[in-house]
Amino acid sequence: MAVHYRTCPFCEATCGLEVETQGREVISVRGDEDDVLSRGFLCPKAHGLKQLHEDPDRLTTPLIRRDGELVEAGWDEAFEEIDRRLSPLLAEHGKNSVAVYIGNPNAHNLSALLYGPVWLRALGTQNVYSASTVDQMPKQVSAGLMFGTMLSVPVPDVDRTDHLLILGANPLVSNGSLLTAPDMRGRLRRIRERGGKVVVVDPRRTRTAEAADEHHFIRPGTDALLLAAMVCTLVDEGLVELGPLAGHVNGLDEVLACLTGFTPERAAAACGIEADETRRLARELAAAPSAAVYARIGTCTQEFGTLASWLVDVLNVLTGNLDREGGAMFPLAAAGQKNASGAGGKGRGVRLGRWHSRVRGLAETYGELPVACLAEEIDTPGEGQVRALITVAGNPVISTPHAQRLEDAIEGLDFMLAVDIYVNETTRHADVILPAPEPLEKAHYDLALYQLAVHNVANYSPPVFEGELPAEWETFLRLAGVVAGQGPHADLQALDDLVIATLAGREVATEGSPVAGRDPGELVAELEPRRGPERLLDFMLRTGPYGLTLDELERHPHGVDLGPHKPRLPDLLRTASGKIELAPAEIVADVERLRAVLERERNGAMVLIGRRQLRSNNSWMHNLPALVKGRDRCTLHVHPDDAARLGLEDGGRAEVSSAVGSIEAPVELTDGIMPGVVSIPHGWGHDASGVRMNVAREHAGVNSNLLADETKVDALSGNAVLNGIPVELIPVRAAVSA
């Protein structure tokens, strides 16, 4: 029996796990009591690690479509097929004829984070899409415009705050999102035990709301109005107090001017929160010794996602709670931190909209286009039409809006390649599928998520099992070779040497870097004999703010505690002014769109929202028996008053129709949802033919994205509107047999 300490790769919480193995068998998965961040906590999803390891549906060999069927093939054969099909398309129609979709699991994948950009650069397409634009992109846009980089997202200092206001997030179930914080139940409980307060604003009375001091229902899509009304209250009552932030802020007067008129009374009609309650929320936020406003997916995947995300940090600034203990703080990660140190708080800021989508003209953000326009880029003929698609660990047919249109569009592609562990609803359309190693066969380090952690830590997990497949980074480099015109048998070691040499060359040329001016060749030699992602990670750790090495992390299998957050202003800022831009011009210009909502007549239509579930994060998890057993969880939550009015019954079925689609779902009555709102969880709908996920098929559920309208996006980020979708509901009567 062997014991391994691993970071769980399944969600943003990065819990430490203790994995017992015998040979290639996983005996047990437990929480690692000594993990520096999670201290033994784990959620039910962690047990999926064993079931994923054992899953007979997981792909272990490439598949190639022959005579309409996906059949097993060798790796050379698969890459030769990719080269044969993809290279002529690139030559004839150009690089933008190939679109790429990057799925959410890439954020947890060291090889994907380090080598994904390599093959994407080699491909050079502007048609890059990802799960970010059905998720957190609005927050990254607002943070970029305010603080200067896409990664400068402040996180609530949950462990020291006195007051936490949560909007559109369910951290008891998610364990944090854009906030890496395992055991949020314990962390929220401790806020209350030390005399603090937790307030939740959400159209659902979530598990987090039940564990809070207060919960307020809010109409989906109106969070920005509530937050603007809270700003107005602070101004009217003389409660704006920037404290030490005062010297670091540009645009205070502009913010206060552009939000004039968003009174609590005017917001109340739209939000469904009484004006007096809004004022009280603002006063309590201002009066708390320390406080943080935290908002997540419900505030992002809506019409005013960027405005809501911006207003969260406007409130954190106006109450003096940004960058202070117990407020909203900026983590300092050991590696991968683009805003770590050096330039004394100045930079170039972010540039958005460097190109636009061909059909609708939606703007690029951080190198990608909104996935809401992927289908039209494929199915609209003309110069620049997308003719091939590469998906990496993604299932956009399930996870992106107007799913049926995207599915139809994908069927018309000239070529599709998928890098994936399953034949899922999207990859079933592929011409070639390249399998990826399971998590236990690869090294793990959360490059992205430690930049959002509630406490600074670093934790590296070596592979538990020797890989039975080629390493993922080798697959990505081989793909880079194909799209760069080197054919299917590129020299991977030479390419990898080029990757580290490029990284080292850039670092020694960076002002303020600890290795500035040194010989990059010498630095690379110091990393011997490491190769691949471990070599890159080692280099990034050595040149990071703590000067760690991978050797050191390997000596600490439970992780290294790098301490609580410290104030980081102005050093972390990368705006051109070197100040917090409280009133970015793009955002201020969008405020008038929000103002128009104050006048909007409510038409009484029902609206649909999603919901996060403890045993689910990505659609692929539905193929793990431990995570889908028990009662049907893909149900339509309806308030009893709405059900009585609409003739719906608990346990019955409803037809739910939107502007773009119609589905049927089982009805579950609950007073935990706001009247006028219904909810279906995302990620379901596994009954399509050709999908090779046999457990998921038994628990198919319905795809809520068949109802999401791809034409509805947040104006500034292009993020899809997945919450607040107008729907009609009618009961489905059981057929009566003759």
CB nearer to ligand SF4: give 31 or 305. 31
CB nearer to ligand SF4: give 17 or 166. 17
Minimum distance between the CB of residue 214 and ligand SF4, rounded to whole angstroms? Answer: 25
- Beta-carbon contacts of residue 310 (< 8 Å; ≥ 6 apart): 142, 145, 146, 584, 587
Whether 196 and 164 have beta carbons less than 8 Å apart is answered as: yes
CB nearer to ligand SF4: give 11 or 282. 11
Q: Is 14 in the site for ligand SF4 (CB under 6 A)?
A: yes
Q: Are strands 128-130 and 155-156 parallel, antiparallel or unpaired?
A: unpaired
CB nearer to ligand SF4: give 46 or 624. 46
Among 4, 5, 6, 8, binds ligand SF4 (CB under 6 A): 8
Residues 341-370 that bind ligand SF4 (CB under 6 A): none
CA distance 412 to 129: 18
- Beta-carbon contacts of residue 470 (< 8 Å; ≥ 6 apart): 75
Minimum distance between the CB of residue 336 and ligand SF4, rounded to whole angstroms? Answer: 18
Q: Which helix (H) or strand (E) holds 200?
A: strand 197-201
CA distance 495 to 707: 44
Among 11-19, 52-60, 285-293, 488-496, the segment contacting ligand SF4 (CB under 6 A) = 11-19
Minimum distance between the CB of residue 9 and ligand SF4, rounded to whole angstroms? Answer: 7
- Per the DSSP assignment, residues forming a β-bridge with 99 are 389
- Other Cβ atoms less than 10 A from the Cβ of 410: the count is 22
Whether 640 and 68 have beta carbons less than 8 Å apart is answered as: no
CB nearer to ligand SF4: give 14 or 140. 14
Minimum distance between the CB of residue 681 and ligand SF4, rounded to whole angstroms? Answer: 16
Q: Please, what is the end-to-end C-alpha distance for the chain in angstroms?
A: 62
- Beta-carbon contacts of residue 521 (< 8 Å; ≥ 6 apart): 501, 504
Our measurement of the distance from residue 46's CA atom to the centroid of its chain's CA atoms, rounded to an integer in Å, reads 19
The three-class DSSP label of residue 623 is helix
CB nearer to ligand SF4: give 48 or 264. 48
Q: Is 109 in the site for ligand SF4 (CB under 6 A)?
A: no
Radius of gyration of the chain (CA): 25
CB nearer to ligand SF4: give 51 or 290. 51
Minimum distance between the CB of residue 184 and ligand SF4, rounded to whole angstroms? Answer: 9
Minimum distance between the CB of residue 51 and ligand SF4, rounded to whole angstroms? Answer: 13
- Interface mask toward ligand SF4 for 169-208; x: CB under 6 A: ------x------x--------------------------
CB nearer to ligand SF4: give 116 or 182. 182
CB nearer to ligand SF4: give 46 or 421. 46
CB nearer to ligand SF4: give 312 or 452. 452
Q: The tokens 């939606």 sit on which residue?
A: 362
Structure tokens at 400: 């992106």
CB nearer to ligand SF4: give 113 or 362. 113
Minimum distance between the CB of residue 387 and ligand SF4, rounded to whole angstroms? Answer: 37
Whether 483 and 119 have beta carbons less than 8 Å apart is answered as: yes
The three-class DSSP label of residue 119 is helix
- Other Cβ atoms less than 10 A from the Cβ of 187: the count is 22
Whether 372 and 399 have beta carbons less than 8 Å apart is answered as: no
Among 4, 5, 15, 665, binds ligand SF4 (CB under 6 A): 15
CA distance 143 to 310: 7
CB nearer to ligand SF4: give 45 or 85. 45
Cα torsion at 472, 429, 375, 385 (round to 10°)? 80
- Other Cβ atoms less than 10 A from the Cβ of 586: the count is 16
Q: What is the DSSP letter of 736?
A: P
Angle at 557 between CA 554 and CA 563, to 5 degrees: 95
Minimum distance between the CB of residue 614 and ligand SF4, rounded to whole angstroms? Answer: 8
Minimum distance between the CB of residue 29 and ligand SF4, rounded to whole angstroms? Answer: 9
CB nearer to ligand SF4: give 454 or 648. 454
The number of residues that bind ligand SF4 (CB under 6 A) is 12
Minimum distance between the CB of residue 385 and ligand SF4, rounded to whole angstroms? Answer: 39
Q: Is 495 in the site for ligand SF4 (CB under 6 A)?
A: no
CA distance 53 to 46: 12
Minimum distance between the CB of residue 315 and ligand SF4, rounded to whole angstroms? Answer: 28
In 346-503, which ranges are E strands?
Answer: 388-392, 415-419, 432-434, 444-445, 456-458, 460-461
CB nearer to ligand SF4: give 45 or 442. 45
Whether 721 and 708 have beta carbons less than 8 Å apart is answered as: yes
Minimum distance between the CB of residue 20 and ligand SF4, rounded to whole angstroms? Answer: 16
Minimum distance between the CB of residue 496 and ligand SF4, rounded to whole angstroms? Answer: 29
CA distance 203 to 725: 13
CB nearer to ligand SF4: give 297 or 669. 297
Residues 20-59 that bind ligand SF4 (CB under 6 A): 42-43, 45-46
Minimum distance between the CB of residue 397 and ligand SF4, rounded to whole angstroms? Answer: 24
Among 11, 19, 628, 707, binds ligand SF4 (CB under 6 A): 11
Among 6-14, 196-204, 517-525, 532-540, the segment contacting ligand SF4 (CB under 6 A) = 6-14
Minimum distance between the CB of residue 450 and ligand SF4, rounded to whole angstroms? Answer: 13
Whether 640 and 625 have beta carbons less than 8 Å apart is answered as: no
Q: Is 13 in the site for ligand SF4 (CB under 6 A)?
A: yes
Q: Is 610 in the site for ligand SF4 (CB under 6 A)?
A: no
CB nearer to ligand SF4: give 105 or 349. 105
Structure tokens at 738: 């003759």
Minimum distance between the CB of residue 427 and ligand SF4, rounded to whole angstroms? Answer: 23
Residues 715-734 that bind ligand SF4 (CB under 6 A): none
- Per the DSSP assignment, residues forming a β-bridge with 20 are 3, 28
CA distance 584 to 570: 18
CA distance 164 to 2: 42
- Beta-carbon contacts of residue 75 (< 8 Å; ≥ 6 apart): 62, 434, 470
- Beta-carbon contacts of residue 85 (< 8 Å; ≥ 6 apart): 388, 414, 415, 431, 432
Among 4, 6, 10, 267, binds ligand SF4 (CB under 6 A): 10
Q: Are strands 98-102 and 69-72 parallel, antiparallel or unpaired?
A: unpaired
Minimum distance between the CB of residue 534 and ligand SF4, rounded to whole angstroms? Answer: 22
The three-class DSSP label of residue 215 is strand
CB nearer to ligand SF4: give 42 or 218. 42
Q: What does the binding site for ligand SF4 look like in residue numbers (CB under 6 A)?
A: 8, 10-11, 13-15, 42-43, 45-46, 175, 182
